[in-house]
């Protein structure tokens, strides 16, 4: 087994946006789950990753890991200095396909950016939650960071509010992402490093994620086009969330990527019944990031991005660009709803009727998507109580390819509770089903959570 060679281009190019750090010592590290399919896709050797040397590297004990600096609006309040308080960028990996991905470990202990009182650790349940949900999002085609591994550390930590298990095993989650550049990264540069650093960061983002944009020779137009692309990719991503019923749970600007990938969604869940007010995150006490607020929040976050780079864009242009987002969102939303229904985005009457029916009836989304895929008119009439709309839809639709299951919240909790107690059988079964979302699953995974979601809360493990 030969150790892979990682690069550290980001840390070398932006030393003022990183802080060298290492993972804490872990007394009894043990690999809980390794995503061998992802490892092979990336060109990494699963055998090496599972070896003592590989696990040591994944825990942040390599030669050049760094904590990344960023700022951010957290629940609407600006924090000028944040950063990886329990995570490390292990390095960049160049895949056989020619892509560059970040490898990033979370829960490794304290870093120079740790908040007062933080131990820098995370629970096994929170890391497994992110594994389940990120791999599901990938399987259904939503842009997302991917989960590579989860490792228990041999340390017990105490957290409030997780079922009946106040003392839990600590764990490290390792993910691969197109990058970890966030709106909050740019905000940090704008507040602390100046316009030159901001422009360097924007050009790096263009090179990394939008290489055609990077070829634009005029600096201001290059940065304007980058901003347009970020708006479009974020709109597309959130539209996919809304089609599926996914609730990110913590849509701060430091969790909004320039690549458009879903990232840092520790307290995520699903609105099993279509209800725009659904909110399960224990830290979102005001419902700021409720299911139906997500399009408005990503618009707000993009406005903060524009504000941070106004000197690079021009004030009037920036305002006009931000004001154009509702039209961008409408196109993305229509495209995803059309995909769910098997109709054209131009079928506005059907799409508008669909939005009205969902809001009026609050149907179970998983059941509705299955009925649409099966063209089951009887089931649709029962679920939607809208026979005229169903008849209109049937006259225009080609049965869509919808996922046949979503991560039912109580099934996820059962798997995480069992895993916390040392039994991975439910986790493995659920993980296997969620990674094949277009196959017919075991019926147990289709059972609605129903009244069991009364008082339901999700936790991010900090």
Q: Do the Cβ atoms of 148 and 36 come closer than 8 Å? A: no
Is residue 222 part of an annotated ligand binding site? no
Closest by alpha carbon to 29, among 169, 166, 128, 127? Answer: 169
Q: Do the Cβ atoms of 258 and 182 come closer than 8 Å? A: yes
CA torsion, points 136, 138, 142, 143, in degrees to nearest 10? Answer: 140
Is residue 106 part of an annotated ligand binding site? yes
Q: Say if residue 431 is exposed, middle or buried (CB neighbours under 10 Å; 0-12, 13-18, 19+).
A: buried
102, 254, 284, 364: the active-site residue:
254
State how far the alpha carbon of 63 is from the alpha carbons of 20, 58, 59, 90, 406, in Å.
10, 11, 12, 9, 40
Crossing angle for the helix pair 387-396 and 348-361, to the nearest 10 degrees: 140
DSSP code string of 166-195: -EEEEEEEEEEES---BHHHHHHHHHHT-H
Indicate if the alpha-carbon torsion angle 193, 196, 198, 201 is positive or negative: negative
Helix (H) or strand (E) holding 40: helix 36-42
Say how far apart CA 461 and CA 158 lie, in whole Å. Answer: 10
SS3 state of residue 202:
helix
State how far the alpha carbon of 397 is from the alpha carbons of 76, 140, 359, in Å.
41, 21, 21
Is residue 45 part of an annotated ligand binding site? no
Strand partners, 87: 106
| 376 catalytic per annotation | no
* Phi, psi of 250, deg, nearest 5: -150, 65
Is residue 85 part of an annotated ligand binding site? yes
Is residue 28 part of an annotated ligand binding site? no
DSSP code string of 352-418: HHHHHHHHHH--BHHHHHHHHHHT-HHHHHHHH--HHHHHHHHHH-------S----HHHHHHHHHH
* Phi, psi of 66, deg, nearest 5: -135, 150
Is residue 255 part of an annotated ligand binding site? yes
Strand partners, 68: 18
The token pair that represents 182 in the structure block: 């966030």
The token pair that represents 181 in the structure block: 């550049």
Q: Do the Cβ atoms of 289 and 276 come closer than 8 Å? A: no
Q: What distance separates the 2 farthest-apart alpha carbons in the chain? A: 64
* Phi, psi of 98, deg, nearest 5: 95, 5
The binding site for ATP comprises: 83, 85-86, 106, 119-120, 175, 182, 264
The binding site for Mg(2+) comprises: 255, 264
The binding site comprises: 83, 85-86, 106, 119-120, 175, 182, 255, 264
Which residues are marked as active site?
A: 254
């Amino acid at each position: 087994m030969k150790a892979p060679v990682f690069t550290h281009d980001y840390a070398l190019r932006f030393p003022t946006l990183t802080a060298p750090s290492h993972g804490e010592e872990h007394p009894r590290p043990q690999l809980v789950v390794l995503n061998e399919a992802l490892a092979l896709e990336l060109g990494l050797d699963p055998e090496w990753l599972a070896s003592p040397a590989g696990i040591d590297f994944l825990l942040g004990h390599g030669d050049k890991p760094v904590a990344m600096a960023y700022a951010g609006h957290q629940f609407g309040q600006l924090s000028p200095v944040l950063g990886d308080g329990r995570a490390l960028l292990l390095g960049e990996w160049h895949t056989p396909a020619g892509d560059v991905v970040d490898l990033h470990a979370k829960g490794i202990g304290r870093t120079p950016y740790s908040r007062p009182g933080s131990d820098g650790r995370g629970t096994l349940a929170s890391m497994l939650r992110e594994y389940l949900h990120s791999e599901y999002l990938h399987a259904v085609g939503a842009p997302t960071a991917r989960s590579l591994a989860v490792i228990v550390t041999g340390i017990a930590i105490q957290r409030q509010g997780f079922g009946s298990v106040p003392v839990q095993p600590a764990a490290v989650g390792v993910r691969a992402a197109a990058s970890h550049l966030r709106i909050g990264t740019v905000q940090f540069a704008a507040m602390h490093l100046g316009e030159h650093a901001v422009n360097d960061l924007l050009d790096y983002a263009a090179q990394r994620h939008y290489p055609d944009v990077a070829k634009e020779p005029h600096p201001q137009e290059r940065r304007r086009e980058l901003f347009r692309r970020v708006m479009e990719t974020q709109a597309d991503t959130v539209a996919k969330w809304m089609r599926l019923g996914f609730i990110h749970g913590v849509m701060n600007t430091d969790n909004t990527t320039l690549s458009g990938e879903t990232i840092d969604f520790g307290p995520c869940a699903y609105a099993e019944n279509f209800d725009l007010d659904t909110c399960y995150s224990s830290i979102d006490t005001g419902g700021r990031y409720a299911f139906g607020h997500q399009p408005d929040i990503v618009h707000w976050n993009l406005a903060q991005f524009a504000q941070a780079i106004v000197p690079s864009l021009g004030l009037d242009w920036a305002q006009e660009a931000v004001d154009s987002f509702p039209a961008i969102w409408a196109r993305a939303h229509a495209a995803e709803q059309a995909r769910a229904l098997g109709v054209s985005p131009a079928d506005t009457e059907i799409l508008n009727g669909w939005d009205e029916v969902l809001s009026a009836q609050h149907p179970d989304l998983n059941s509705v998507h299955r009925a649409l895929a099966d063209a089951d008119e009887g089931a649709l009439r029962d679920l939607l109580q809208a026979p005229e709309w169903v008849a209109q839809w049937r006259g225009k639709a080609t049965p869509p390819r919808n996922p046949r299951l979503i991560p039912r919240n109580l099934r996820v909790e059962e798997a995480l509770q069992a895993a916390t107690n040392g039994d991975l059988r439910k986790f493995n079964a659920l993980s296997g089903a969620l990674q094949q979302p277009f196959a017919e699953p075991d019926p147990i995974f289709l059972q609605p959570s129903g009244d069991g979601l009364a008082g339901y809360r999700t936790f991010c493990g900090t």
